[in-house]
Every structure is written in structure tokens, then in C-alpha cells.
Amino acid sequence: MAGKVVTITSGKGGVGKTTVTGNLAVALARLGERVVCLDLDIGLRNLDLVLGLENRIVYDIVDVIEGRVRLRQALVKDKRLEGLHLLPAAQWREKHAINALQVTRLCKDLCAEFDLVLIDSPAGIEIGFRNAIAPADQVIVVVTPEVSSIRDADRVIELLADAGKPAPRLIINRARSAMMKKGDMLDIPDVLEILRIQLLGIVPEDQRVIANTNMGTPTVMAGSSAAALAFMEIARRLRGENIPMTSQDPRNWLSRLTSFADHPKKNGNN
């Protein structure tokens, strides 16, 4: 059976796309899926660092697309976890080095060998974004509970609809219940009310995410933490399991949350 392409995007930079991509890939591989992550942040690659695979890179996606090496030669296979692979971005090239048709063809080849292709999208809504969404069967929009992030996500959701993509699902990253409670940060229901797409999960702010990235150990591999648990649950939901939004949920979020999550209105999602 052919694999599925899931693109992780946001509009805004720094909200956690790369962190989410890397950790979901690890979580899905732990659940037994054959996963490849595709770093499309050409010129600003980071996914290799989140995965701790930077020292294993020999070739990159542009080498494959320009025909210098075969796909198999450029794929980095994780030695710690069966089923996890990375196709790195080129560090010294620009986003214009590849186009949507080439990425789509590449993903078709990857889908023949993998259950899931996770694409880490660059920030912005220009060519890098268009390359990242072109092959997507599903899209995940990552936001932080801040006005600028939500506004950019809203624009991205519109662009996805214009491009004929299925309605994306939402991950709210770096959620801080104390700040939300005080009204210093948008609350979960506020975010859902504005964006009106289906909630896939909430990842709490967790200092260990930064520490783990600096150590080259994805949070999900580093042992149990609030963020690791959240990533595992999101991975299960991506596979179609019905996992209620409970364990990540500081008391005050949940009661209001479910009603919004169950009634997304935009783009005719579900």
C-alpha cells in the first residue's frame, strides 16, 4: 500500500514545525510505522539537529533531485530506531533550487517505500511553502498561542484551501497554562474559535525540548516528559486512533476544549 505525505507548516517561523516533525517521526516509528522525514527548509536545515543525525549526512535532497545520487544513497537511516529515516535539506543552496513538481515526484518514490513521509516546511508562504504543500495528502498547521502566529496560520489555512488541499489539522505548541489562565496568552478555545480547524493536539512548553535538541536526542527518545507524551498521543491520532485530549490537559483547558474540537467549521473539515 502506498504511503501518505503529511506536511507540517505554519507561516510563521520559530513556532516549532521542525521540533514537531522530528518528534512525530520518532513517535510514529516507535509505533511501528516506516517513516521518512523530508527537510524542505533548503538553506536553513535543522531537522537533522532535532533528530541528532547531522553527523551522518553525506548527500541531500538537491543532490537527489539534480540526479547526482540515487534516493537510497541520500537517505539517512537512524541507527537507534528501526523505521526512522531522514532526507536532509541542502545547506548551501536556496529554496529555488527545487520546484513543486520535483518534490511531488520524489514523494511518490518515497511513498512506495514508506508508510509516512513527513515534510518539514520552511517559514513563509513563498516557493518553499508551495513546494512543501504540493505533494501533501494531509497538512498539519503548528501555532503557538500568540496573536502573530495565529494570524499567519489563518492566512496559511486560506492558502491551503485555495490550493485545493484538504482542511489542515492544528497543533498548538508551547502552551503555558499559567499564562493562559492569567490571560497573558491566548487560551485554547480562543485559538480554536479563530482558526476553526480540527485540533490534533496540544504540546506544552517544556524546557526539555530545547535541552534535548541541543543534545541531539529527540524529546520522544529522551524518556517521559509532558512534551514527549503529547507527541506520542498526536502520533496515535495521526494513525487514526481515538485518543481523547486528556493527559496533556491542565484542568482549566479541557471542559471548554472538547466542544470546540468537536465542531470545527472552516473548510468543511469533517
Interacting residues with ligand ADP (CB under 6 A): 10, 13-19, 46, 123, 173-174, 203, 205-206, 209-210, 213, 227
15 binds, among ligand ADP, Mg ion, none (CB under 5 to 8 A by kind): ligand ADP
Angle CA(199)–CA(205)–CA(78) in degrees, nearest 5? 85
Residue 90 in 3-state DSSP? coil
Closest CA to 119 of 56, 175, 168: 168
Choose the stretch contacting Mg ion; rule: CB under 5 A; options: 46-54, 136-144, 153-161, 206-214. Answer: 46-54
Residues 137/216/243/29 CA torsion (nearest 10 deg): 60
Closest CB to ligand ADP among 22 and 135? 22
144 binds, among Mg ion, ligand ADP, none (CB under 5 to 8 A by kind): none
Cα separation, 202 vs 4, whole angstroms: 23
Cβ 234 to ligand ADP shortest distance, Å: 12
Host H or E run for residue 35: strand 35-39
169 binds, among Mg ion, ligand ADP, none (CB under 5 to 8 A by kind): none
Closest CB to ligand ADP among 115 and 206? 206
Closest CB to ligand ADP among 51 and 123? 123
Tell me the one-letter amino acid at 13: G
Residues 232/235/239/244 CA torsion (nearest 10 deg): 60
Cα separation, 126 vs 110, whole angstroms: 24
Cβ 16 to ligand ADP shortest distance, Å: 4
Closest CB to Mg ion among 76 and 245? 76
Which of 10, 18, 23, 217: binder of Mg ion (CB under 5 A)? 18
10 binds, among ligand ADP, Mg ion, none (CB under 5 to 8 A by kind): ligand ADP
Choose the stretch contacting Mg ion; rule: CB under 5 A; options: 10-18, 134-142, 161-169, 220-228. Answer: 10-18
14 binds, among ligand ADP, Mg ion, none (CB under 5 to 8 A by kind): ligand ADP
Contact 51, 86 (CB under 8 A): yes
> Please, which residues have CB within 8 angstroms of residue 166's CB and are 6 or more apart in sequence?
137, 138, 139, 267, 269
Closest CB to ligand ADP among 107 and 230? 230
Residue nearest to Mg ion (CB): 18
121 binds, among Mg ion, ligand ADP, none (CB under 5 to 8 A by kind): none
Cα separation, 71 vs 141, whole angstroms: 28
Q: Does 10 contact Mg ion by CB under 5 A?
A: no
Query: Cell 476553526, residue?
Result: 196
Q: Give the residues lining the site for Mg ion (CB under 5 A).
A: 17-18, 46
